[in-house]
Structure formats: C-alpha cells, structure tokens
Chains A and B, each alone.
Chain A
C-alpha cells in the first residue's frame, strides 16, 4: 500500500517518539552491560560460583541469589500453571453472560493490583499459612527428600516466595492462555462435537491442541516472575546461604538489588556486582520471552489452515 504525502508526514512525526522508546531499551541494556564490566573484569567467574555479600571486605558472589531467582521462578511458574488452566477453562467454557463478565473483570483487577498489595498479604497471611499447612507437613512426611529436608523456621523461604510470586503472575498467565485458547478456530471446536465428544472431552482435546501456546505462556510467566521484586523482598527471607532445601530462606537477584542498591555506591565494587547480576537475569528473561513469543507465533500459524 502506497502512503499518501500526508500519511508520510504523519508517520515521520510519530517516528521520533516511537523509536526513542526502543532506543531507551537498548540504552538501558547497554548501560547495565557497561556498569557490569568493572565487576566482571575484577572477579570474573568467581562471582557466579560463590555466595557471599560482604561489601566491607569487597568479597562478592551471587550464586545464591541467581539460584534463588531461578528456583522461585520455577515454583511460581508451576503455581501459575496449576491455578491458571482451571481459571482459563472456567472463564471460556463454563461461565456465561453476567457471571463471565464479573469473573473476567476480577482477573483483570487482580492483574492490575500493585505488587506491594500481594507482598504485604503474602508476608502477613500466605507465608504463615504455607508454613503450617504445606511446609511442615511435607517436612514431617518426606524429610528424606533434600528439597523438604529442613524444618521451616519462619516460613519465609524460596518456596513461599515462589508460591506468592506465582499467585501474582496468575492473571498474566491466565490472560495469555485465555487469549490463545479463544483464538483456536471454531472449526476445531465443531470437530470435537461433530465426533460425539462430551464438553470435558472437547476441552481436553482443545487444551492439548493449545499445549505449545500454554508452554509459551508459562515461559513468558517465568520471565515475569524472574523480575518480580517487591513480593520477593517480603517473602524470600533474605539469606545469602545456599541451601538445597526449599523451606530455607534465600535470596533472589531482584530482592538483592532492591535491598542493597541504595548503599552500594559506598563501596568500590558492590554497585557493579549488582549490575552484573541484573545483566544475567535480563539476558535469561529476554531469551525466555523471545523463545516464548516464537513458539506462540509458530503455533498460531499452524492452527490456522
């Protein structure tokens, strides 16, 4: 389609603002990279294989927060998976009219809620609940499994942070799953009923049809969980001790940055180390988001005949 002169002018007027956002993104990543170099040059791989935060002595190692970020995100993704699929199915298949609208509005509302609300709620109510009804029973029943081997002391742990972050990304993941489930062409739904499927059988066929899209939604959810900060700060327990037990307190990169950044400029390398940790998380999140988006696009092109 050829653009008219006026359209070209209009497009030209949009370009500076539109490109400045992209440029800003690239600049941010570039800045993070630049600020990390000092720590990377000084400590090298040592940063990634030890878990110490001792700015007074200028000794650093971010293994525990990195593992913590990945572990909480895995737990968060599993939590989101367990909660989002029933939510999405109920919203798209079983609820009708007014109730469906109320339900959808509630999901949107939950998605738009500031994370500080989740954070306060999680530290006041969710953590004690999980400690009493999930962590302690699991520890009593299966103490020989390393993941459950430690007695939950306060409840503030990798596990609690994972579940809390998972709950906060449920609206996002549900919206993604719903979008892909609802974008399945009607002809496949008709195909299910045309061969005598009951509703639950049709749902199960359509869910298996949208499996790649669900995986992609979870990858995007994982990337979002990696960056979640406020909830992590209030629930993870803030400990640099690396444990194989999920019920022990830990750290995440986002929580480490949030709690240490303000004073980091007092020391020679602390700030740069934080930038390095941020760089690693940014790279992981970008790769996952990109991969998730690729899966989603491929899936869409495959189901549309």
Chain B
C-alpha cells in the first residue's frame, strides 16, 4: 500500500529546474526520510505533495503525483491538504492563540471534533503524542511565546496531529531546536507511524538512522538513491550517498 507515488516529477520555478525527473514510492505507515544537502529540492518536493507549491510564484509542475490514491496535481488542493499535516523548519505556532487554541484550531478547521469534550480530548491526545502534554497541562491558556523553541515546535507537531492527518510532512523539524527537544520530537515521530505516514526531510544522517524506515537521497533535484534505511546505511551505492552519510556534504 502506497501513501505517495511520484513519477517523472519535474518542477520549474521561473526558469530554474528545481526537481528533475523524480520518481518515488512512499509506503503507508512508515517513516520515509528525504535526505540531501541544502538546495537539493527537498522542501519543494514536500510542498508538491500537499500542493503548498501553488503559492510559489512562477511555478510549473509536470509529472504524476498520486497521494492517497488521488491525482494530487488535479485534485482540489484545499481538500487534499485536509488529509496532510505539515510541520515547518521554523516553529510557527500562531502567536495570538493560546497553546490550547493553537491545537484546537486544526481540529476545528477539519471538523474532527463534534463537541467541546471531544475537542478537549483531541487536544490532549495531540499534545501527548507530541510529548508536550506533561510540560503544558497546567498552562494550556498560556501563549506560545512563553514556550522554548523546542516546545513550540512540538506544539506545531501537536497542531498538525489534531487535524488527524493520514500523511504528516516534516520539513527539517529539528533544525532550529536544541538536542534534547530534538530527541523528544524524534521519539514522537517514531511512535506515530502506526497512525500516519511520516515524510520527513533532514540533512542529518544520524537523525535519519534513528527514525527512518525508508530513505531517498536527493541531490541537485534528482533522486540518486532510495530504499530501506538499513540497506542504504549498510551498502550505499552512490558516492553522493556515502559522502552524505559521512557528513561531508
């Protein structure tokens, strides 16, 4: 069963060829990690999956992108995004909403909760899943600026989970947070795969080793290698992958 199936994907932004003939298969209920040096097109690839790429000016997308058995490039992007949560590189909780409201708003927008009680339960479940509940349960009505960077990022994870997505896109979620918070986030990610398919972008081979079931290596807009994580770590078949795994890139 595939969550995402991409064939011969080409993305151009203005005149730059960002993604070049990308073909990928992301199985359901796995943690699929996309690795590559900065500027290799990782974020663009994620944004094609949930069509956030539509907001980029001068973009042209060609190829086949099937997400949850839907032709993602032809589907209504708003309906599509209701099934896909996303966490960004920089924590971006809404500063004018409380911790509770930040999580609840995602559930409300997607009609996940029918009553206040259900909403409370979902908020608690999402915060627990994001391993943040114990730290904020007594201050749910505080504002995000009172949290640390790492806590804010886990709040964003909770917000994405509260919409009960089938796919979760994570764009270098630990890039801007401290190692302890990064570990908590990784633990949360691994525990999630029974419920969602996680597609995560990272440039850290160590992180990939800790969380990935599958890995694709992206370099200069092309997929240079993809497969089960163990196999890729034990027998990397390209020089680019070897360099990337050694942290030389």
A17 to chain B minimum Cβ distance, whole angstroms, is 41
A201 to B162, CA, bound (A): 17
B97 to chain A minimum Cβ distance, whole angstroms, is 8
Query: Is B45 engaged at the interface, CB distance under 8 Å to the other chain?
Result: no
Q: What does the 1/0 interface line of A195-211 toward B look like (CB < 8 Å)? A: 11111010001001101
B37 to chain A minimum Cβ distance, whole angstroms, is 23
A234 to B94, CA, bound (A): 46
Q: A305 touching B94 by the CB < 8 A rule?
A: no
Chain B residues closer than 8 Å to A190, beta-carbon distance: 52, 55, 86, 88, 92
Chain A residues closer than 8 Å to B156, beta-carbon distance: 191
Query: Is B242 engaged at the interface, CB distance under 8 Å to the other chain?
Result: no
A196 to B55, CA, bound (A): 14
Q: A193-B81, A194-B88 are in contact. Are A303 and B95 (CB under 8 A)?
A: yes
Q: A191 touching B90 by the CB < 8 A rule?
A: no
Contact with A196, one of B87, B91, B92, B163 (Cβ below 8 angstroms):
B163
Main secondary structure of the interface of B (DSSP, over half): mixed
Q: How many A-B residue contacts, CB cutoff 8 Å?
A: 72
A interface residues, how many (CB within 8 angstroms): 21
Query: Is B85 engaged at the interface, CB distance under 8 Å to the other chain?
Result: yes
Chain A residues closer than 8 Å to B55, beta-carbon distance: 189-190, 193
Interface residues of B in 72-106 (CB under 8 A from A): 78, 81-88, 90-96, 105-106
Contact with B94, one of A196, A201, A205 (Cβ below 8 angstroms):
A205
Q: Which of A185, A195, A201, A303 has the most CB of B within 10 A?
A: A195
Chain A residues closer than 8 Å to B93, beta-carbon distance: 191
Chain A residues closer than 8 Å to B91, beta-carbon distance: 305
Q: A193 touching B92 by the CB < 8 A rule?
A: no
A145 to chain B minimum Cβ distance, whole angstroms, is 35
Query: Is B160 engaged at the interface, CB distance under 8 Å to the other chain?
Result: yes
A250 to chain B minimum Cβ distance, whole angstroms, is 39
Q: A190-B52, A209-B95 are in contact. Are A195 and B106 (CB under 8 A)?
A: yes
A176 to chain B minimum Cβ distance, whole angstroms, is 19
Chain B residues closer than 8 Å to A187, beta-carbon distance: 88, 90, 92
Q: A195 touching B109 by the CB < 8 A rule?
A: yes
Query: Is A302 engaged at the interface, CB distance under 8 Å to the other chain?
Result: yes
Q: Which residue of B lies closest to A206 (CB)?
A: B94
Query: Is A241 engaged at the interface, CB distance under 8 Å to the other chain?
Result: no
Chain A residues closer than 8 Å to B165, beta-carbon distance: 196
Q: A187-B88, A302-B145, A305-B90 are in contact. Are A196 and B95 (CB under 8 A)?
A: no
Query: Is A129 engaged at the interface, CB distance under 8 Å to the other chain?
Result: no
A296 to chain B minimum Cβ distance, whole angstroms, is 15
Q: A195 touching B160 by the CB < 8 A rule?
A: yes
Q: B90 touching A194 by the CB < 8 A rule?
A: no
Query: Is A291 engaged at the interface, CB distance under 8 Å to the other chain?
Result: no
Chain B residues closer than 8 Å to A191, beta-carbon distance: 88, 92-94, 156, 159
Interface residues of A in 284-305 (CB under 8 A from B): 302-303, 305
Q: A195 touching B92 by the CB < 8 A rule?
A: no
Q: Which residue of A lies closest to B91 (CB)?
A: A305
Chain B residues closer than 8 Å to A208, beta-carbon distance: 96
B189 to chain A minimum Cβ distance, whole angstroms, is 16
Q: B85 touching A302 by the CB < 8 A rule?
A: no
Query: Is B181 engaged at the interface, CB distance under 8 Å to the other chain?
Result: no
Q: B145 touching A196 by the CB < 8 A rule?
A: no
Query: Is A121 engaged at the interface, CB distance under 8 Å to the other chain?
Result: no
Q: What does the 1/0 interface line of A34-49 toward B look like (CB < 8 Å)? A: 0000000000000000
Query: Is B21 engaged at the interface, CB distance under 8 Å to the other chain?
Result: no
Q: B106 touching A196 by the CB < 8 A rule?
A: yes
A125 to B55, CA, bound (A): 43
A47 to chain B minimum Cβ distance, whole angstroms, is 43
Q: Which of A185, A198, A208 has the most CB of B within 10 A?
A: A198
Known: A187-B90, A302-B95, A305-B90; 14 extra A-B contacts, CB below 8 A, are A190-B52, A191-B88, A191-B159, A194-B88, A195-B85, A195-B106, A195-B109, A195-B159, A195-B160, A196-B83, A196-B110, A196-B163, A199-B78, A211-B96
| 22 A-B contacts (beta carbon < 8 Å) | A187-B92, A189-B55, A190-B88, A193-B50, A193-B52, A193-B81, A195-B85, A195-B109, A195-B110, A195-B160, A195-B162, A195-B163, A196-B78, A196-B82, A196-B84, A196-B165, A198-B78, A199-B78, A205-B94, A209-B95, A209-B96, A302-B145
Which chain A residues have a beta carbon within 8 Å of chain B's beta carbons?
A: 185, 187-191, 193-199, 201, 205, 208-209, 211, 302-303, 305
Which chain B residues have a beta carbon within 8 Å of chain A's beta carbons?
A: 50, 52, 55, 78, 81-88, 90-96, 105-106, 109-110, 145, 156, 159-160, 162-163, 165, 169
Q: Give me the 9 closest cross-chain CB pairs, A-B, nearest first.
A: A194-B86, A196-B82, A187-B92, A195-B106, A191-B92, A196-B81, A198-B78, A209-B96, A196-B110
